[in-house]
């Protein structure tokens, strides 16, 4: 399939090699629909931090799936989003589909920029991804069988990003999703301890989960040479977002797709069958 041809209805999928963008691209491929890949290494490159790449990547584009990396909550994100929206308008883009974070005030500032743009828009406001346990964040620790986190009994409705990708694909291909805010969650509230119990059941492996202080967790990451900007983001997520504010379920997936969300149990069972939690060689999957 020619993914970079000029077509008045061609969508740009930013982050098309990442967790959600990859899955959205797969849906376009499987449905025989063209799109433009939007990564630093695409034939027509796109880089959030290099404005010189934006106009070429947006040339001939009608709609955009906006995934800002690493997170809309990082300092400077609203300014970048505002500049991007203005460039998109100049380039003739008509519809923006923004991946946002549930319970993140900073992310909702970015939502407002998109909604005030005078362009058509769809907001997908997501809970924490179930795939954070198999494609980033916690994978190495799960494979090792020992997890230390600064989180207690807070419950989170972890969402399977296969559901999220279905919504984004629908939003990019069906005009009925314009002007909609889809706040998406999984089917059940789970503590992190309950999540690891689900993974233990699915894999038949023991996972030692221990709660530690945030100071100890920051020290652990620093000693592991984790970049300071990443440490700051993780600290923000664990102290500002995972504080119980998202401990409720929504009907976003039902409204968007006409069906219920995939459960964490289903995700864990299917993921265990891939062997990713058993094979240390798989413990460095890119985010």
Q: What is the pLDDT of residue 229?
A: 84
- pLDDT value of position 6: 40
- Residues of the chain above pLDDT 70, percent: 94
In this structure, what CATH number is given to the domain that contains residue 53?
A: 3.40.50.720
Domain annotation covers residue 82: yes
Residue 5 token pair: 């041809």
Cβ-contact 108, 116 below 8 angstroms: no
Could you tell me which residue, 1 or 20, shows the higher pLDDT?
20
pLDDT tens digits for range 40-55? 999 999 999 999 999 9
Taking only the tens place, the pLDDT of each residue in 13-29 is 999 999 999 999 999 99
- Domain membership of residue 1 (yes or no) is no
Is the pLDDT at 283 greater than 60, yes or no?
no
Answer yes or no: is 286 within a domain.
no
How confident is residue 240, by pLDDT bands cut at 50, 70 and 90?
Answer: confident
Assigned domain for 50 exists: yes
pLDDT band, residue 136 (cuts 50/70/90) = confident
CA dist 21 and 28 (Å) reads 11
Give the three-class secondary structure for 127: coil
Question: For residue 270, is pLDDT > 90?
Answer: yes
**Residues 230-247: what's their mean pLDDT?**
87
- The tens digit of pLDDT for each residue in 157-214 reads 999 999 999 999 999 999 999 999 999 999 999 999 999 999 999 999 999 999 999 9
pTM score = 0.92
Count of domains observed in the chain = 1
Residue ranges making up the domain that contains 65: 10-129+159-185+248-262
Per-residue pLDDT band for 8 (boundaries 50, 70, 90) equals: low
pLDDT band at 74 (very low <50, low <70, confident <90, very high): confident
Q: For residue 56, is it within any domain?
A: yes
Task: Look at residue 227 and tell me if it is in a domain.
Answer: no
Flag whether 74 is in a domain. yes
Cα–Cα distance, 144 to 280 (Å, whole number): 8
Q: What is the distance between the alpha carbons of residues 74 and 184, in angstroms, rounded to a whole number?
A: 21
What number is the average pLDDT over the span 32-47?
97
Residue 139 domain-assigned (yes or no): no
């Amino acid at each position: 399939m020619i993914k970079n041809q000029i077509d008045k209805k061609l969508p740009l999928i930013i982050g098309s090699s990442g967790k959600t963008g990859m899955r959205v691209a797969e849906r376009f491929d499987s449905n025989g629909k063209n799109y433009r890949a939007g990564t630093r290494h695409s034939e027509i490159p796109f880089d959030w931090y290099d404005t010189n790449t934006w106009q070429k990547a947006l040339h001939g584009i009608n709609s955009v799936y906006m995934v800002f990396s690493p997170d809309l909550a990082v300092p400077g994100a609203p300014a970048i989003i505002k500049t991007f929206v203005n460039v998109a308008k100049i380039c003739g883009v008509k519809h923006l589909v923004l991946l946002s974070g549930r319970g993140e005030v900073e992310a909702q500032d970015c939502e407002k920029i998109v909604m005030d743009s005078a362009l058509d828009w769809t907001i997908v406001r997501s809970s924490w991804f179930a795939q954070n346990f198999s494609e980033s964040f916690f994978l190495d620790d799960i494979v090792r069988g020992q997890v230390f986190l600064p989180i207690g009994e807070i419950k989170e409705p972890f969402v399977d990003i296969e559901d999220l990708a279905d919504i984004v694909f629908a939003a990019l291909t069906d005009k009925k999703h314009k002007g909609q805010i889809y706040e998406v969650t999984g089917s059940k509230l789970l503590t992190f301890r309950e999540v690891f119990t689900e993974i233990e059941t699915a894999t038949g492996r023991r996972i030692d989960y221990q709660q530690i202080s945030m100071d100890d967790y920051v020290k652990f990451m620093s000693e592991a040479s984790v970049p300071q900007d990443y440490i700051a983001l993780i600290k923000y997520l664990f102290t500002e977002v995972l504080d119980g504010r998202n401990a409720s379920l929504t009907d976003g997936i039902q409204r968007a797709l006409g069906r219920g969300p995939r459960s964490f149990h289903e995700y864990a069972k299917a993921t265990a069958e891939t062997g990713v939690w058993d094979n240390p060689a798989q413990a460095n999957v890119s985010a």
